Amino acid sequence: MSTTPNNLDAYWMPFTANRHYKSAPRLMVAAEGMYYTTHDGRKVLDGTAGLWCCNAGHARPRISEAIARQARELDYSPAFQMGHPKAFELASRLVQLMPGTLDHVFFTNSGSESVETALKIAIAYHRLGGEASRVRLIGRERGYHGVNFGGMSVGGMTPNRKMFGALVAGVDHLRHTHGDPRNFFSRGEPEFGAELADDLERLCALHDPSTIAAVIVEPIQGSAGVFLPPRGYLKRLRDICDRHGILLIFDEVITGYGRLGTNFAVNYFGVEPDIVTTAKGLTNGVIPMGAVFVQKKIHDRFMQGPQNAIELFHGYTYSGNPVACAAALGTLDTYEEEGLLTRGASLVEYWADAVHGLRDIPIVTDIRTLGLIAGIELQPIEGKPSARAFDAYLKCFAAGLLIRTTGDIIALSPPLIIEKGEIDMLFETLRRVLKQVN
């Protein structure tokens, strides 16, 4: 078996410094449990669950066997005007993981598609309710909601937006919640800043609530660098949305499926949005798939008109793909058998102690932890933003540890199967590397 391609040229890699990468490629050729294997035979500890997606770790037999079986049995069936048993079974199992009112699921193939789906449902919902003026969408500065036009527009990460024109019209953004020095080095929800949710009142005053369809936020802003919601912030956002008839969407693409030690962030924060977008951990990252949960009141509003009329003109060729559904069912089996959706809760103190143990390193300017997530912010090198963290990324990889960096922030989100010994190993390596990039 060849483990090294002889030409790297044709593949235009996503979110990658292509020329730098191709000058010194990093190739993964196998993975099992907590570890990747590189093409040169090295083991690399997965500190990021791939891209926040392999929550059950790698090469889990329940998942790979379910996929193989399904591909043999029913490889594909049309997604429109046709069904197959596993899509229904999966939807029924998924809604049991959510609080009672979020009881219908629409399938997509990625986080980005889940977001587009949620935004479209929100606007159509108001139109069906006789409020066709509610078309505005509110996101948040530094938010990440994928890369398609709707998600990019409600997102708030400048590099992801600036090259791509005027984006979707009628979008505005809440202020982000990051940067209050009183919240630095926080464990769990930071104490200060719940009142930042009142920024939604400012946007309501500016645009008039009757023009606003929905607010979308990540309960924890992951991609921008692990920004945690101040205690009470999400609840306050919920209250303001209720006051003004605005739908609240939680983008749980990274916080879903056990990352916080609960099924979803919805459970952790005790705040019920109207719509929840998910993907990633749904299939353990093995097969592309997303799921959008909606409250009964939303689903039911669409179920009107003639029985033989299509209620929502939206969907994907691969919505509820049989192999993806089998992968998701195998993933849920694995989560349930091993108690993974709540395992993080038993490790959270150990994890937080280990992360905050890096506080004494002079270049570490902030550390944030919640569930099995950590954000470690580094002092940027003057005139060279991102360089220090990227250097740390490369040095960690060389030392056998996969981390993720965004700007000068290191984000960690290991598979939920991580053991204490592996947490120790992770932070021993990271400490060594951070001392080298000092």
Ligand X SMILES: Cc1ncc(COP(=O)(O)O)c(C=O)c1O
The residue ranges that bind ligand X (CB under 6 A) are 110-112, 115, 144-146, 218, 222-223, 251, 253-254, 279
Find the shortest distance in angstroms from Cβ 288 to ligand X: 7
Query: How many angstroms separate the CA atoms of 157 and 96, rounded?
Result: 34
Structure tokens at 132: 């066709």
| Residue (255 or 429) nearer to ligand X, CB | 255
- Residue 186 and residue 312: Cα distance in Å, rounded? 43
Find the shortest distance in angstroms from Cβ 154 to ligand X: 10
- Least distance from ligand X to the Cβ atom of residue 277, Å: 7
Residue 221 DSSP code: B
Angle between helices 420-436 and 340-356 (to 10 degrees): 40
Please identify, using beta-carbon distances, which residue of 292 and 364 lies nearer to ligand X: 292
- Judged on CB neighbours under 10 Å (0-12, 13-18, 19+), 291 is buried
> CB of 106: closest distance to ligand X in angstroms?
15
The SS3 assignment for 130 reads coil
Nearer to ligand X, 146 or 375 (CB): 146
Q: Which is nearer to ligand X, 223 or 405 (CB)?
A: 223
| CA atoms of 401 and 101, how far apart (whole Å) | 41
> Which CB, 283 or 429, lies closer to ligand X?
283
- Which DSSP string do the residues of 11-69 spell out, in sequence order? ---TTS-HHHHHHS---EEEEEBTEEEETTS-EEEESSHHHHT-TT-B--HHHHHHHHH
CB of 156 to ligand X, least distance (A): 12
Q: At closest approach, how far in Å is the CB of 240 from ligand X?
A: 21
Residue of this chain nearest to ligand X (CB atom): 111
Of 295 and 413, which CB lies nearer to ligand X in the complex structure? Answer: 413
CB of 221 to ligand X, least distance (A): 8
User: Quick one: 79 or 279, whose CB is closer to ligand X?
Assistant: 279
CA-nearest of 95, 74, 78, 96 to 86 is: 74
d(CA 30, CA 37): 5
For residues 179 and 186, the answer to whether their CB atoms sit within 8 Å is no
Q: How far is the CB of 112 from ligand X (least distance, A)?
A: 3
Token digits of residue 412: 């960690």
Q: Which residue, 53 or 389, is less far from ligand X as judged by CB?
A: 53
